[in-house]
Structure 1
Amino acid sequence: MTLFNGVYPFYLQQRKHFVFDVSTIIVIIVFLTFAATFLLIIPGIRGRARLYWIFRVLLSLVVGVVIVAVQFTGDWESGWVTANTSYKSFSSVMVKADIGLHVGLAGVNVTLLGNPVNQVNETIDYNEHFAWSFDADYDHSYSEGLEKGLPSPILYVAEKFTTESPCNMHRQYRISGHYASATLWVAFCTWLISNMLFSMPVLIYGGYMVLTTGAFMIFSLLSFSTVRNSLICPIQFGTASLLIDYGGSFWLTLVIGLLCFVAGIAIVVLHYFNPDLLKTFFDLHEVRTEDCQEMTEVYINPQFMSNTQSPPQPSRIISSGM
C-alpha cells in the first residue's frame, strides 16, 4: 500500500484463499496421516491381499477426504472477467484488472488482480472473503469492507449478495449451500458406517451403504444446483459481464459420487454372482479357512480315550443255593 494524501486508503483485511484455506489443509493433513499410518502395515500383509488392501484403504480415504474437504472450499462456482473499472470510490482513476467471483457453501470470495499488478503506484492484489455461515453475518462483513475502504469492484460484487440487495442472491445461495452441506455430512456418516460393515462378514450391507453415500453426494449437488433455476442478477463492468459456472469442488464431488455408485453396484453384483471373489478381495475367505483349521485342532484327554476304547466287562451273577 502507498500513501494517499498522507494516509493509508486501505487497511489490512483477513483473507481466505478461494480454493484452499486453513481448514481444508488441516483436513487433507489428517487424512494423509491416516493413509501413512495404514501404509505402514503393508509389509505384514502377504500375497495379493496386499494389493487388495492398499486399493480398498486408499479408495476409502479419497472418498472421505473429498466429502469433508469440499465443505470448506470456495470454488463450487467460479467466474472471471477482465475489465477497465474504477479503483476507488469518488475517484475517476481507471485500472485494468481481472475480477473473480468464487462461491462456496459458506460464503463468497471476491478477487481483484491488476493487469499488470502494479498500477497507480499500488499493488492491486486482493482476495476478500464474505461468509454467510450460522456464526457469521454477511451484511456485517460487507459493512466492515466499506469501513476499511476496499476497492470499488470488490464492494460492487459483494453488494450483490447482501440481504438488502434486490437480486435476492444471498437467500438463494445461503439456503442451497446449507442443504448441500447437511447432505454431505450425512454422506460422511454413511461412509463411516460402510467402512465398519466391510470389516465384518456382511459385505452386501457395506455395498448398500456405499450406494447411499453416493446418493447423498448427488443430493448435495442437486441442492446446490437449485440456484440455477432462479434469475441470477447480472454483474456488469462496462460492456464486460462476470459470468460464473460450476467450479472444481462441484465436479470433484460429482466424480466421487459416481465412483461410489460404481463401487457399490460392483459389490452388490459380486455378492450375488461371485461371492468367493468378493470375499477374496476383502480378505475374508482366508480368515474363515484359518478359523476352520484352528477349530480342527482339538485337545483330547488320552485317559478319556483309553477308557472309551476298552470294552465294558460283563457283570457276573452269583447265585446262592437254597
Structure 2
Amino acid sequence: MRLQTTSRRRALGTLAAGALALAGGRAGAQDDKSPIRMLCGISAGSGNDFTARLVAEKMREVLGRPVIVENRPGAGQRIALNELRRSPPDGRTLMLCTTGPFTIYPHIYARLDYDPVRDFTPIASVASFDVGIATGPQMKARTMQELIALARADKSFAAFGSPGNGSLSHFVGISMGLATGIELTHVPYKDSGVSALDLASGRLPMLVTGVSQMVELHRAGKIRILAVSGGKRSSQLPDVPTLRECGINVSNTTTCGVYGPAGMAPELVRRFSAAAQLAVQGPGPRERLARYLFEPAPAGAQELAALMADESRDFARLVKASGYSPE
C-alpha cells in the first residue's frame, strides 16, 4: 500500500538534514570501507533488481564503500530474507525487499521461519509500484466494468491468474471479488510467461500481476490492461484508470524498502536511510524507475515501519474476510 502524502512530505523535508549527517564525522564504524552486500530476493532483470542497483549505486557514491547487489531469488523472497536475518548487524548486509513478506505472509502461512518485526531493521522506503488487471484480445470486454459484467453473468469468466498464492496480486484479486460481490476463482502461476500466453489466447479471462510485467504486451496489443490498483493513474499508462475510478473500491500499491538485520546501530540506520532516499530523488532516478513503471517513494525508517504496521493490520482483516486458510 502507498505511503500517505503527508509522510512523504515529512520524509522529503528531512533529506537535507540527512545529507548533512552523511557529510559529518566518520569516526568509528563510519570509517568502515568494507563492501556492503545488497541482497535482492527477485531475479536479475526485474524491477526490484533494477531498484536495488539504483540504490546501491547512490549508496556507493555517498558512503564511499562498495555496494554489491546479490540476487537470492526463491520462496517469495524468503531465501534472501533468511540470509539477511542470519547476518550480523554491522551494516555489511542489507536487502531491497517489498513489504509483502513482512505484512502479508504472517497472515497466510501457519508457520514462518522468521519474525517480521523482531528479526529485521527497516531502513528506508525507496520506490512503489502498482498491480495491473488485464484481459486478452479474445475477450469482448474493453473496460473493467464490462469485464466484471461478463464475470457476473458467466462463471467461466470469473477467474483470474496471479504470480502465486499469497502474493499481493492474489489478494488484489480477492479484494476485487469482495468489492463486487463476485466469487472469483484464483489460478496461481509459477511462470509469468505461461500466464501471459493463457491470457492472450483466451484460456485465462483475467490476469492480476505487476504492471511492469504486462506493459510491453499491452503496448503491442497482445493483451489489454484495463485498470491499475494504485491510488492514481500510472504516469506511463495515463489512459488506464484505477480500480476506484472503475467503481471498484480497491486500492493497493507495493512498496520497496531497504532493510537490515535486527540490532543495527541507530546512527548507521540514519546514514544508510539518508543515502538510500537520495538514490531516488530528482528527475534522473524518476525517469530510470519509470522504465519499470516504478515510482520514487522516499521515506525514512520510522515511516517505513509505520507503513508496514498499517499494511499488516489491513491484510489481517482482508485475509479473515476472504476466508483464506493459512498454508
Question: TM-score normalised to the size of structure 1?
Answer: 0.28
Query: Larger relative CO (CA 8 A, sep 6+): 1 or 2?
Result: 2
For the pair shown, the structure with the greater C-alpha radius of gyration is 1
Please give the TM-score of this superposition, normalised by the length of structure 2: 0.28
- Normalized per residue, which structure has more helix? 1
| Higher normalized strand content (fraction of residues) | 2
